[in-house]
Structure 1
Amino acid sequence: MALLIHSVFRVLSWLPLPVLHVMGWLLGWLSFALSARYRRRLFAHAAQAGYPRRVALASVGESGKLVTELPRLWLGRPVRIEWAGAELIEATQTPGSGVLFLTPHLGCFEITAQAYARRFGAARPMTVLFRPARKPWLRELVANARSRPGLQAAPTTLSGVKQLMQALKAGEAVGLLPDQVPPAGLGVWAPFFGRDAYTMTLSARLVRAADVQILLSWGERLSWGRGYRVHVRSFDAVNGGPLSAQPDEAARQINLAMEALVRECPAQYLWSYDRYKTPNRSAHSLR
C-alpha cells in the first residue's frame, strides 16, 4: 500500500499546479455533495463568524485544492511564491532570539513553512509541529515529505515539544497551527468568532521557555494555479501588545489574531474543520 500511494503521489507531483487545483475544486464539490455533515458544519461555522453562505460556498473548492496540491508541494518542482511582509522576518534576525510563527487553517498552510525554508532556512532553520498520519503506510511519506533543507518536522508528542523548545532556545524558528484542537488537558476554552473553542496553550509555554518573537503568517492560494503569496504579520501589531503569560488570556489573544487573519481572506479558510469539538485523549497526544 505504501509503495502504491507513493507512486500515485509521485505521478501527481508532475502535473502543473493549475491542473491539480482544477482537480481539487472538483474534489471539494464532490465532498460537499456527498456529505450532509460536511455541509452542516461548513455553513454553521461560517455563520458563527458572521459570513453569508456565499463565502462558505467559495471555500468548498479551496478545501479540495488543499488536498490535491500536496503531491506537488511534497514531491514536485518548486512552485512560484510571492511575499508580503518578508521584511518582518528579516527584522527578527537577532542572535539568540527564536521566532514563533502562528498560522491558521487558512489558504495553503503547507506552503508557509516551505517558503520560509527556501528563503530563510539556511540562516535560521525552522521546525514545524505536525500530527502524524494515523495510517502507518502514510506516516512515513508525510514525515519525509515535510522534512527538507532548512525545515524539520516534529510530531505532536512530548519529544516533539522538546524539539520545538530546543529549536527556539537555539535561536531558530518554529511553526504552529494554533487553531488546531489539542488533546484534552493541553488547552483552555477561549472564544473563537464568538463561541468557545478548545485552544492549545503550547504557544504560551514556548514563549515562556525561551526568548521568542512572534509572527503571524498564512499562504494565499493565487487564482488559476499561479502559485502562492505568503503573508507575514506582526503579532504585537495585530494584537495590540505582546502575548500574555497567563494561559487563558494568551489563548484569547491568539484566537483574536487568528480571526484577524481569517478576515483577510475568509473564502480560503477551512470552515469545515471541526474547530469547536470537545477534545479526546489520543495515542499521539502531548503527554
Structure 2
Amino acid sequence: MLHLIGGWVGRVFWLLSAAFRDEVRRNLGRALGHEPSRQQLLRVAEETGRQMLELPWVWLRPQEEVLSRIVQVEGGELLAQARQDGASVLLLTPHLGCFEMCAQYCSTHGPITVLFRPPRKASLAPIMEAGRARGNVQVAPADVSGVRRLVKALRSGEMVGMLPDQAPKQGEGVWAPFFGKPAWTMTLAARLSEVKGVRVIMIWAERLPRGRGYALHLSEPVAPIEGDLEARCVAVNREIEQLIMRCPEQYLWGYKRYKRPSGVPEPGAEAE
C-alpha cells in the first residue's frame, strides 16, 4: 500500500516541483548519455515517492518485520565467508533502492557501524538514529570522532557501512568523475578501504514491483579499489556507477550530487 501511494506521491511531486524535474532530467540524462524519455522520468519520480514513504516504515517497524520483507539475497555468501574468515568488511551502497535495508540485513551477520549524517530537520534526527541503531547496528556521527569509531570497528574485524555518494564538505573530498562529470567526492570510503585486511563489498536493496518486498544484491568490486587516495575515489565512483546502471530508475537522481560546497575551487583550479 505504501509503495502504491508512494508512486502517486512521486508523480504529484514531479508536477509541482520544477527544480526536481530539472535535476532529475539533467542527472539521469548524463548517466544514460541521451535525453531520457518521459516514461523513464516518471518511473524515477514514482520510485522517489516510494522511497519517501518506505523510510519511516523501515525506521519505525520492528526489525524482525523489516527483515521479513527481504525475499531474495544475491551474493550473500560473500558476506558470510568474510565473517567466517574473521575479516573486517567495508560495505558500500549508493542512494539506490531501499538503502536503509542494507545495514539491517548485514547486522544479522554481526556488529556493524554505519555513518550517520543528521538530517537538515533536527526533529527527524532522533527518529532516524533510533530506526538505524537496532540490534547489532551502531551509528557513528559524520565527524572526527565518528571516523575514529569506523576505523576502530574495521581494525577489530567488524563491519562498517556507508553511502559513499554523498556530497561532502570542504576538506572532506576530491574531484572525481561521476558519469563523465567531475563530482566533489568523499574521501572517507577510499581511506577506509586502505585499512589492512578489509574486504570491500558493494550492496544495494532492489525495490520489487507491486510491494513484493526487496531483493538484496551483494558483489565484489568489478575492479580492485587500489592506488593513491584520488585513484581510490575514482574507483569507488566507478563501482557506484556499475550498480546504478543495473536499476537506474531507483537511484535518487533528485539529489544534488554535483553541487560545489562553499570554499571548494572549481575542478582543475588551484586553491588560493
TM-score w.r.t. structure 1 length? 0.85
Match of residue 218, structure 1, among 204, 209, 212: 204
The corresponding residue for 2:270 is none
**C-alpha RMSD of matched pairs (Å):** 1.5
The corresponding residue for 1:3 is none
> Could you tell me which amino acid in structure 2 is paired with residue 80 of structure 1?
R
Match of residue 270, structure 1, among 252, 256, 261: 252
Match of residue 134, structure 1, among 115, 120, 132: 120
Matched, 1:62 2:50: no
Structure 1 moving runs of 4+ over 4 Å: none
Asked if structure 1 preserves the Cα contact closer than 8 Å seen for 2:91 and 2:160, the reply is yes
Asked if structure 1 preserves the Cα contact closer than 8 Å seen for 2:59 and 2:127, the reply is no
Match of residue 20, structure 2, among 16, 21, 38: 38
1:56-91: CA deviation from partner (whole Å, max 9, x where unpaired): 321111111111012221111324212011011112
Determine the C-alpha separation between the residues in 1 that align with 2:210 and 2:142. Answer: 34
Asked if structure 2 preserves the Cα contact closer than 8 Å seen for 1:113 and 1:175, the reply is yes
Match of residue 232, structure 2, among 229, 250, 262: 250
For structure 1, the residue ranges without an aligned partner over 5 or more in a row are 1-18, 282-287
The CA deviation at 1:141 is 1.5
Match of residue 105, structure 1, among 74, 81, 95: 95
1:172-198: CA deviation from partner (whole Å, max 9, x where unpaired): 001111111111111111111111111
The corresponding residue for 2:268 is none
The CA deviation at 1:26 is 1.7
The corresponding residue for 1:259 is 241
The corresponding residue for 2:69 is 80
Higher mean Cα deviation, 146-155 or 48-57?
48-57
How many aligned positions are there? 255
Determine the C-alpha separation between the residues in 2 that align with 1:140 and 1:105. Answer: 21
Determine the C-alpha separation between the residues in 2 that align with 1:210 and 1:125. Answer: 19
The CA deviation at 1:135 is 2.9
Determine the C-alpha separation between the residues in 1 that align with 2:121 and 2:106. Answer: 28
The corresponding residue for 2:160 is 174
Matched, 1:114 2:104: yes
> Could you tell me which amino acid in structure 2 is paired with residue 67 of structure 1?
M
Q: Secondary structure at the match of 1:45?
A: helix
Asked if structure 2 preserves the Cα contact closer than 8 Å seen for 1:56 and 1:271, the reply is no
The CA deviation at 1:95 is 5.0
The corresponding residue for 1:145 is 131
The corresponding residue for 1:4 is none
Q: Secondary structure at the match of 1:274?
A: coil
1:12-47: CA deviation from partner (whole Å, max 9, x where unpaired): xxxxxxx11122112211211111111011011111
**C-alpha distance 138-225 of structure 1, shift in aligned 2 (>3 A):** same
Q: Secondary structure at the match of 1:141?
A: helix
Asked if structure 2 preserves the Cα contact closer than 8 Å seen for 1:84 and 1:231, the reply is yes
Asked if structure 2 preserves the Cα contact closer than 8 Å seen for 1:63 and 1:270, the reply is yes
